[in-house]
Structure formats: C-alpha cells, structure tokens
Amino acid sequence: MLLIHVPKLTNRLGYTLNVVFHHLLHADYSITTDEQYYLHYGDAKLSYGPKRLDDSLFIKCHPLLFETSIEEQEAGAECRDGQWILFPVYGRNIDFDFDPLAATFFMVTRYEEYLPHREDIHGRFLPEESLAAQAGFLEEPVVDQWARMIAGKIQERYPEYSLPGQSYRFVQTVDIDAAWSYLHKGLFRSVVGMLRDLISRRDPAEVARRIRVLAHRETDPFDTFEYILEQYRKVPESALFFFVLLADYGDYDKPASYLNPHFRQLIQHLDDYAKIGIHPGYNTLELPLKAAAEIKRLEDIIHRPIVYNRFHFLRLKLPRSYRILQHAAMRCDYSMGYPDTVGFRAGISGSYPFYDLERDHETELLIQPFSIMDTTLQKYMRLSPEEGLQTYRRIIDAVRAVDGTFCCIIHNQNLSEVDGWEGWRNTYEQMLEYAR
C-alpha cells in the first residue's frame, strides 16, 4: 500500500488525493499526518508538504490546498519540456518542479468559475475566460497527464509497487432536443411550421418535404435513431447514452409532448439498448422545480429512477447547477464542456466527484466531462465534415495517450444529411471507427 504523508489533512487535500489516486490511478493508498510513522514505513511512500522528510518521493506544496477562501490565484501556467504545468515550485532536491495536486484541484473544481468572469447571452462561462484557453492547453487532458507523471515517478522509485491506472473508454452520448422535424408535433405546430416555411422562409421545397413526411411517403429527417443503434452495434465495447428533453414548449425548448404516445414508445425503445438520462429544459437554473417535474415525466415513461443528466444548452453554472442535481438525487452529470469550442474544460477526461468550493466539501455527484460536440464543429467552428473528422481524431489521440475517457455529444437531428449537415454521417461513422 502507498503511504502518503501530509502535514494537515484538509477537505481540499483529501478530495484531491481521492481524484488522483482513486479515480485516476486506482491505487491502494492511505494517508497519515504522523511523521514518525511515515519515516519508519518500509513500503512505497510519498510526502506532500513544505519540506522533504526523507529520501522518499516528495511533492513540494503550494498553499492552495491548505486554504479555505476563494480568491484570485497566480497559477503561473507554462509549458516545460512539452508538458503544461501550473503552480511551479522552487528549491533544491525536489522531485516535481510544480505542485500537481494543487494544479489538479484548481482545474477539476473549476476554481476560476467561482471568481468574477464574463458570460455569454445564455449565462454560460466563456471558454476564453479560462486559463486553459488563454495559455493554450485546452485540448490537453492535463489532469490525466499529471496523474500519469506522479504514477511514473512512484514506479520509478518503487518498482515493486503496482499502479493499475486507467483504461481507455469510449462514451457516446446523444442529445434528443427534437425527436422529429415534422411528425408528432400536433395540428397547431404543424400548420404554424408550414406557414413559416411559405411566408417567412419562402421555401417551397421545405413545404413539399414536410407534406411528404406527414403523408408517410418519406422518413422524417430527424428520425435517425435506428441508424444510431445500427452504428452502435458496430462498436459494442463503447457506452451509449440518450439524454431526452421533456421540458414544456418554449423559446429554447421545442420537444415533442411528453404525453405523445409515439414519443413515449421511442424513449422506451431506446431504453432497451442504451442508458437514458434527462436533458432538463433551458430555464432549469431559474426554475429548478421544473427540472424535478421533467425527471418525474421520464421516470414515468421508463419506470425506473433517472440518475444521469445533461443540461439543455449546456447551461452549467457552478455551484448552483450541481446543487440542483444533488437535490434531485442525480448520480452523474454530463454537462462539463464548452458549447462553442472543443477541449477539456476541467482538464480531465474521465469521471470524478463534484467538489462544492463554496461549502468546501466533496459530494457524491459524479461529473463526466465531454470533450467534443457535433454542433460545435459545424455551427461554431464552421468546419467542413473532413475538418471535423480531423478534429475528432486529434481529441481522441489526446485521450488515448493518457488511457482516458473519450466522451462526445451527438444530436439525432445532425445526422439528417439535410440543412447544412450533408456529409456529416460519414464523419460520424469514421469517428466511431477511430474511437473504438
């Protein structure tokens, strides 16, 4: 067993050791504050603090993990020998030239999102406000890299000590914002849509397609679910999640009615093959009780508790959003990422527990970040399908290099091959093949 000595075990430090040694390295370890016990310990050991205790592995600490306040930090991001570091430390006879534990805590807690920052029109943290984007390491899973660095140092010093580490995983998630483009919308919405196509858009081709679909002479372009399941069967080693929007109709929420029997049957059908999660509506932040109602709707459809979440429009605000999920007994959230750029918002690829920085404690809620979304590539970055595929491959390569988790977001309507999405099915299929 690895023994870790710390001068004082704070909530921040205990949490960070849990993220690094349990969630990332899957190590068997214990923590002590007893210096004499540590000095006489005969197996693998590591000390964390302001000074070296003996000739065992030593990480010189930055004060961050011994603080309780939330204030501006001089993280000192820099790239040394091809590796990005935060919180550099100095001194003679040190094993690390930075504090990887403080750096990990800063990234995974999203410390900077608790500080004053600019937001977009939807109240979302802007990626350009982040240290990762400003310094240039947003596309690097630096937390995974730092954990592997620690593991390498431990095994170099103690070859007999085994660290299982991570295994590469592929998690495909599908957001169902609109199950159908034309079908099952009800008479009023169908008539309004047709008038909009004729008067506002002046698009007779769209009207003709709508009529063909409503007459069941053509498949609804958003109905790509059997295609998604067919592709999933080709990569059975991956995980598949569907996040379903069941909010009331509004400016940003336009799902089929949760009472619609066709929609309910579709959800039940998908539940036979994949995990189902809730996609709470746009106004969840302002009206958290609506999220509870939407969760109940989904539970009534699939007859089991709902434990997976992703916020619609990725409207994630810390710590409020995650407190709402805790109150709703959610087990894991999949919203940690950016809508308008690719990369690792928290610097980590796999799941880890949420730490409420304001309340200074670790919670049971898990966070599974995503690193890339189809809408990001086509709408925000304005990439071609070929350029999108290269971006997928670049992110997958970064995840594979650390044996991490590649988690992506797909939308069923974006596989329609219409309205600007022509060619993206091929990108999707090649991404699946590359990620497997």
Beta strands in 236-382 (DSSP E): 239-244, 275-278, 308-309, 332-333, 352-356, 361-367, 372-373
Q: Which residues of the chain have pLDDT under 70?
A: 187-203
**CA pair distance 182, 416, nearest whole angstrom:** 13
Residue 374 included in any domain: yes
Please choose, from the candidates 176, 213, 207, the residue with its C-alpha nearest in 3D space to the C-alpha of residue 192. Answer: 207
Measured CA to CA in angstroms, residue 430 lies from 99, 130, 208, 353, 426 at distances of 39, 31, 32, 32, 6
Residue 163 included in any domain: no
pLDDT at 130: 98
Residue 162 included in any domain: no
Q: Are residues 247 and 143 part of one domain?
A: no
Q: Are residues 209 and 131 part of one domain?
A: no
Distance of CA 101 to the CA centre of its chain: 21
**CA pair distance 344, 321, nearest whole angstrom:** 19
pLDDT at 273: 97
Residue 186 included in any domain: no
Percent helix, strand and coil across the chain, each to the nearest 5: 40, 15, 45
Query: N- to C-terminal Cα distance for the chain?
Result: 34
The tens digit of pLDDT for each residue in 123-147 reads 999 999 999 999 999 999 999 999 9
pLDDT at 236: 87
Q: Are residues 263 and 215 part of one domain?
A: no
CATH number for the domain harbouring residue 330: 3.20.20.370
Asked whether 27 and 21 are in contact (CB, 8 A), the reply is yes
Place of tokens 């970064």: 398
The tens digit of pLDDT for each residue in 328-378 reads 999 999 999 999 999 999 999 999 999 999 999 999 999 999 999 999 999
Q: Are residues 387 and 256 part of one domain?
A: yes
Q: Are residues 226 and 206 part of one domain?
A: no
Instruction: Note down the domain range covering 409.
Output: 169-181+221-435
Please choose, from the candidates 194, 254, 266, 260, the residue with its C-alpha nearest in 3D space to the C-alpha of residue 223. Answer: 266
pLDDT at 207: 73
Q: Are residues 134 and 268 part of one domain?
A: no
pLDDT at 214: 84
Q: Are residues 358 and 409 part of one domain?
A: yes
pLDDT at 203: 67
Q: Are residues 99 and 215 part of one domain?
A: no
pLDDT at 394: 98
pLDDT at 373: 98
The tens digit of pLDDT for each residue in 413-433 reads 999 999 999 999 999 999 999
User: Which long-range contacts (C-beta less than 8 Å, at least 24 apart) are formed by 127-132?
Assistant: 127/338, 127/340, 127/341, 127/343, 127/345, 130/345, 131/75, 131/77, 131/86, 132/107, 132/343, 132/344, 132/345, 132/347
**CA pair distance 289, 374, nearest whole angstrom:** 30
pLDDT at 185: 83
Residue 391 included in any domain: yes
Please choose, from the candidates 342, 335, 346, 345, the residue with its C-alpha nearest in 3D space to the C-alpha of residue 431. Answer: 342
Residue 164 included in any domain: no
**CA pair distance 245, 295, nearest whole angstrom:** 10
pLDDT at 259: 97
**CA pair distance 95, 335, nearest whole angstrom:** 36
Q: Are residues 149 and 26 part of one domain?
A: yes
> What are the residues whose beta carbons fall under 8 Å from the beta carbon of 389, sequence distance 6 or more?
427, 430, 431
Residue 187 included in any domain: no
Q: Are residues 125 and 81 part of one domain?
A: yes
Residue 133 included in any domain: yes
Asked whether 357 and 332 are in contact (CB, 8 A), the reply is no
List phi, psi (to 5°) of 6: -135, 145
Which tokens in the block code for residue 103? 């750096």
Give the total number of structural domains in the chain: 3
pLDDT at 201: 63
**pTM value?**
0.95
Q: Are residues 118 and 132 part of one domain?
A: yes
Q: Are residues 175 and 81 part of one domain?
A: no
